[in-house]
């Protein structure tokens, strides 16, 4: 029997995908709720778990030439995927090679950030203690310059290899344009540019037990503060605004001095804690976490996020910027 033809209404590029990606590795209509930590999101028309970086580097130029809409994801821990999903190819980055060393540690961008920390720590390399408990991949961390406890990935980067404008090339760290929870890759959503691998400068010669002990202290702090329900971490970015910080009674002195206002502080003061839209809620434990209380949809999260933004803007005159990225066909 000949294979079922695609419906005539399907765009031409859709037919190209199984010619570029081995059919045995492709899934069709894969529910994205399975691949995002918010547990929401409709189907990806095609879904490819990419397991080695060379295949990924070979496939991307061909997808580009065929004009295939693609979205590369890591662990989906910073994503709000639309209920209608993504009418293209979702590539899940599962490339996992790490080479810990001096002067640089090499990592594929599909490596889990926590696993990179553990592999480095085993070799006595420090610098990523704060990364334990950030649930994404190294690639996702690069895109948003992930960080915690005053550490960020940006300053550790020495080189990235990226697929950009149709070709694969190496770039220096300045090319990434790192800012607070931001890089050049966030300026085009979904990003067509894909970061394939990275060299990081970690500090060698450390004691494995001491490195682990430092990470465990951060992890304990994190557990005490963060809700257990499914979330995408902090939903909104903190606000850098000295005048606003100075005007807020109740904001701790060190934050006033630094001119930093946590989004969670604004959400709490605006009375958003405990708010609900359908199955999405503002966590009782941390007002910057929007959580899935069981049966939320992406639309519930969108409504809740917009309601919080409107309330905070009305109260403090600040439009909160979202740290979580809305992707898919909204």
Ligand X SMILES: Cc1cc2nc3c(=O)[nH]c(=O)nc-3n(C[C@H](O)[C@H](O)[C@H](O)COP(=O)(O)OP(=O)(O)OC[C@H]3O[C@@H](n4cnc5c(N)ncnc54)[C@H](O)[C@@H]3O)c2cc1C
Hey, which residues are catalytic here?
Answer: 181, 234, 323
Nearest approach, Cβ of 192 to ligand X (angstroms)?
9
CA distance 115 to 306: 35
Candidates 80, 160, 185, 263; binder of ligand X (CB under 6 A) is: 185
- The beta strand positions in 83-209, using DSSP E, are 86-93, 98-99, 105-108, 147-148, 151-152, 157-164, 167-171, 194-200
The residue count for binding ligand X (CB under 6 A) is: 35
- Choose, by CB under 6 A, the member of 14, 57, 79, 282 that binds ligand X: 79
Q: Does 292 bind ligand X (CB under 6 A)?
A: no
Please report how close the Cβ of residue 137 comes to ligand X at its closest, in angstroms: 3
Among the listed residues 46, 36, 48, 34, the one whose alpha carbon sits nearest the alpha carbon of residue 87? 46
Nearest distance from C-beta of residue 194 to ligand X, angstroms = 4
Query: Nearest CA to 185 among 325, 291, 306, 84?
Result: 325
Residue among 232, 272, 291, 298 that touches ligand X (CB under 6 A): 232
List phi, psi (to 5°) of 16: -80, -25
Nearer to ligand X, 146 or 280 (CB): 146
The single residue among 41, 114, 191, 262 that binds ligand X, judged by CB under 6 A, is 191
- With the CA atoms of 284, 288, 294 and 296 taken in that order, what torsion angle do they form, in degrees rounded to the nearest 10? 140
Report the residue number, 23 or 228, with the smaller CB distance to ligand X.
228
Q: How far is the CB of 217 from ligand X (least distance, A)?
A: 14
- Residues 87 to 106 in contact with ligand X, rule: CB under 6 A: 93
Do you find a cis peptide bond into 190, omega within 30 degrees of 0? yes
Q: What gap in Å lies between CA 80 and CA 91, rounded to an integer?
A: 16
Region 16-75 residues binding ligand X, contact defined as CB under 6 A: 37, 71-75
Q: What is the DSSP letter of 275?
A: -
Q: Structure tokens of 164? A: 């950009």
How near is the Cβ of 164 to ligand X at its closest, in Å?
Answer: 10
115-134: contacts with ligand X (CB under 6 A): 134
Pairing of strands 151-152, 147-148: antiparallel
Q: Does 264 bind ligand X (CB under 6 A)?
A: no
Out of 160, 164, 325, 328, the residue judged to bind ligand X by CB under 6 A: 325
Write down the least CB distance from residue 62 to ligand X, Å: 17
Selected from 14, 50, 157, 195, the binder of ligand X by CB under 6 A is 195
Closer CB to ligand X, 71 or 244, in the complex: 71
Beta-bridged to residue 195, according to DSSP, are 162
Whether the ω angle into residue 94 lies within 30 degrees of 0, i.e. cis, is: no
| Rg of the chain taking only CA atoms, in angstroms | 21
Which of residues 35 and 309 has its CB atom nearest to ligand X in the complex?
35
The three-state (H, E, C) secondary structure of 214-240, written as one string: HHHHHHHHHHHHCCCCCCCCECECCEE
Partners of residue 79 on adjacent β-strands: 325
Choices 47-55, 228-236, 253-261, 307-315; region in contact with ligand X by CB under 6 A? 228-236
CA distance 31 to 45: 9
Query: Which residues contribute to the site for ligand X (CB under 6 A)?
Result: 37, 71-79, 93, 109, 134-137, 139-141, 143-144, 146-148, 185, 190-191, 194-195, 226, 231-233, 325, 327
């Amino acid at each position: 029997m000949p294979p079922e033809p695609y419906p005539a209404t399907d765009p031409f590029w859709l037919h190209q995908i199984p010619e570029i990606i081995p059919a045995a590795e492709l899934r069709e209509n894969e529910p994205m709720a399975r691949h995002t930590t918010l547990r929401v999101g409709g189907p990806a028309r095609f879904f490819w778990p990419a397991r080695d970086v060379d295949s990924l580097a070979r496939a991307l130029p061909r997808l580009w030439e065929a004009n295939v809409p693609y979205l590369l994801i890591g662990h989906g821990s910073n994503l709000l995927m639309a209920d209608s999903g993504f009418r293209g190819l979702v590539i899940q980055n599962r490339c996992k090679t790490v080479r810990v060393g001096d002067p640089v540690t090499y990592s594929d961008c599909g490596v889990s950030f926590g696993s990179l920390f553990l592999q480095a720590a085993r070799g006595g390399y420090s610098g990523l203690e704060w990364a334990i408990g950030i649930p994404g991949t190294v690639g996702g961390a690069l895109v948003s310059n992930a960080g915690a406890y005053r550490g960020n990935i940006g300053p550790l980067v020495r080189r990235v290899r990226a697929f950009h404008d149709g070709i694969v090339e190496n770039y220096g760290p300045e090319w990434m344009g790192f800012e607070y929870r931001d890089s050049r890759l966030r300026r085009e959503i979904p990003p067509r540019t894909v970061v394939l691998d990275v060299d990081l400068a970690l500090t060698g010669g450390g004691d494995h037990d001491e490195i682990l002990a430092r990470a465990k202290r951060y992890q304990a702090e994190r557990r005490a503060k963060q809700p257990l329900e499914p979330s995408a971490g902090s939903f909104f970015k903190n606000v850098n605004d000295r005048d606003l910080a100075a005007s807020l009674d109740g904001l701790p002195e060190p934050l006033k001095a630094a001119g930093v206002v946590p989004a969670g502080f604004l959400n709490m003061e605006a009375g958003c804690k405990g708010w609900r839209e359908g199955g999405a809620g503002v966590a009782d434990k941390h007002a910057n976490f929007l959580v899935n209380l069981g049966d939320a949809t992406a639309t519930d999260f969108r409504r809740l996020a917009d309601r919080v933004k409107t309330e905070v803007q009305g109260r403090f005159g600040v439009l909160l910027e979202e740290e979580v990225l809305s992707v898919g066909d909204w």
